Amino acid sequence: MGKFTRLDAFARGQIIALAGEGVKAKDICKKVKKKDGKSRPTERSVKDTIQKAAANPEWRGENAAGGPGRPQIIPEALQKELTELVFRERGANYVTIKYCKQSLPPLRAFNRWAIARALHRAGLLWLRRRLKRVVPVAQRGVRCSFARWLRRLDEKEIRRFAFVDGTSYYLARGDADAEDKNRLRLGKFVWRGSEAKEGLFHDNVGASLYASKQGQPVKVWGFLANGHLCVHVLPLNDKGESTHRNGPAYRALLDTKAAEWKRLCWPTGRPRHITLIQDHERCLWQERSLATLRAYGLHAEERMPKSSPDFNAIENVWSLLRTYLEENAPAGKEGRTEFVRRLHGAVRHVNTTRRSELLHLCRNMPQRADDVLKLKGARSKW
């Protein structure tokens, strides 16, 4: 015998409506489905519903308590099994509520809302996957070793850290792209009428993520240390295109900017030995590039693992800078000269108003290390 399924308010309402149209009870049984969407009500239950509606003409099939009935509650032990299942399987399988029911047979006695509530109580929500690359398994042990090394450093050594990296900004190709980029900074959500009839009004249409990144790139190189950000915009070549970050360009940049950046980041008490955190672009690790760094008192940290932007504090500062630029973008098309001027203004703003935040990002390497160790080498929130 299958599991007993009750009539819900919707099914009772259908029965009352069909009976009012003169449909016989045995025919109503063929037209109405129970709450499981499959089984049919018995003729006895249909007649009972019709009789109850006749006794109370105001009744439309609702439960006696005025709601959907007492919610199902999953036992604590089963909820623990459910939570462990989700954390164990979510990286390898498409873990939906249906998948949970198939994997844990005792859950089949509960509806999907009860399972969803149990997952919510465990602190889980059905959200968009984070847009970050997965750390390769081979790199997780290296990342843990680097994190343990960081935990052994004292505060004085942490203060000697400097961070370098490059990023790119894209200019609008024309007025249409400029309007699209300006709309993009307003976010992906908007308050809309619940009837959704005005869904295609001009102020409800979102921006194109594709179009916003197809214009001319403006490539920027940055140096972050002691809570201060320095940037350099790579020049255009003879063809009017942005130059690439390569070995000769990097060494030329160091020759012209390294001494100045060190002076700006450490106006007083500049350390002799500066530990440089940089990613693994080939041009940065060429022997001539490393020799140029050492000539300016900058020593690239060879322990820095690959696939580890969460150990490079300048990545977080790029995010702050990009947000400020988007929030203050002009409504019309912006040329390269105007953008570069606005970029330098944004850097001054971040260095002035977000100084304490930048300083914290430069000195929280032990916290980053703790987070990576807790995650056994996986990507942390940084």
Q: Would you say 242 and 217 are in contact if contact means Cβ atoms under 8 Å apart?
A: yes
Q: What is the mean pLDDT of residues 270-297?
A: 91
Sign of the CA dihedral running 74, 77, 78, 79: positive
pLDDT in tens, 217-237: 889 999 999 999 999 999 888
Residue 20 confidence class, pLDDT cut points 50, 70, 90: confident
Q: Is the pLDDT of residue 40 over 90?
A: no
Q: Is the pLDDT of residue 165 over 60?
A: yes
pLDDT at residue 382, rounded to an integer: 81
Question: Distance between CA 161 and CA 223 in Å, rounded?
Answer: 11
pLDDT at residue 128, rounded to an integer: 59
Nearest to 264 by CA among 297, 223, 219: 223
pLDDT at residue 176, rounded to an integer: 56
pLDDT at residue 183, rounded to an integer: 58
Q: What is the mean pLDDT of residues 42-65?
A: 80
Q: What is the mean pLDDT of residues 25-40?
A: 84
Q: Is the pLDDT of residue 184 over 80?
A: no
DSSP strand pairing (298-300 vs 274-277): parallel
Q: What is the mean pLDDT of residues 80-87?
A: 88
Residue 158 tokens read as 């942490």
pLDDT in tens, 103-148: 999 998 888 888 888 888 888 777 656 555 667 788 889 999 999 9
pLDDT at residue 66, rounded to an integer: 47
Q: Which of 64-78, 85-99, 349-363 has the highest mean pLDDT?
A: 349-363
Question: Distance between CA 334 and CA 178 in Å, rounded?
Answer: 8
C-alpha distances (whole Å) from 41 to each of 3, 12, 27, 61 are 13, 10, 11, 14
Nearest to 365 by CA among 224, 239, 251: 224
pLDDT in tens, 292-308: 999 999 999 999 998 89
pLDDT at residue 318, rounded to an integer: 92
Which tops the pLDDT comparison, 90 or 199? 90
Residue 3 confidence class, pLDDT cut points 50, 70, 90: very low
pLDDT at residue 217, rounded to an integer: 85
Predicted TM-score of the model (pTM): 0.61
Q: Where are the alpha helices (DSSP H) in 207-307?
A: 247-265, 287-295
Question: Distance between CA 199 and CA 368 in Å, rounded?
Answer: 43
% of the chain surpassing 90 pLDDT: 36
Q: Is the pLDDT of residue 377 over 50?
A: yes
Q: What is the mean pLDDT of residues 15-43?
A: 85
pLDDT at residue 182, rounded to an integer: 61
Q: Is the pLDDT of residue 161 over 70?
A: yes
Q: Is the pLDDT of residue 157 over 60?
A: yes
Q: Where are the alpha helices (DSSP H) in 56-174?
A: 76-89, 97-103, 112-121, 137-151, 155-158
SS3 category, 233: strand
Question: Distance between CA 57 and CA 61 in Å, rounded?
Answer: 11
- Radius of gyration of the chain from its Cα atoms, rounded to whole angstroms: 31
pLDDT in tens, 166-175: 998 888 766 6
Which tops the pLDDT comparison, 373 or 185? 373
Orientation of helix 9-20 relative to helix 43-55, angle to 10°: 80
Mean pLDDT of the chain: 82
Q: What is the mean pLDDT of residues 5-13?
A: 78
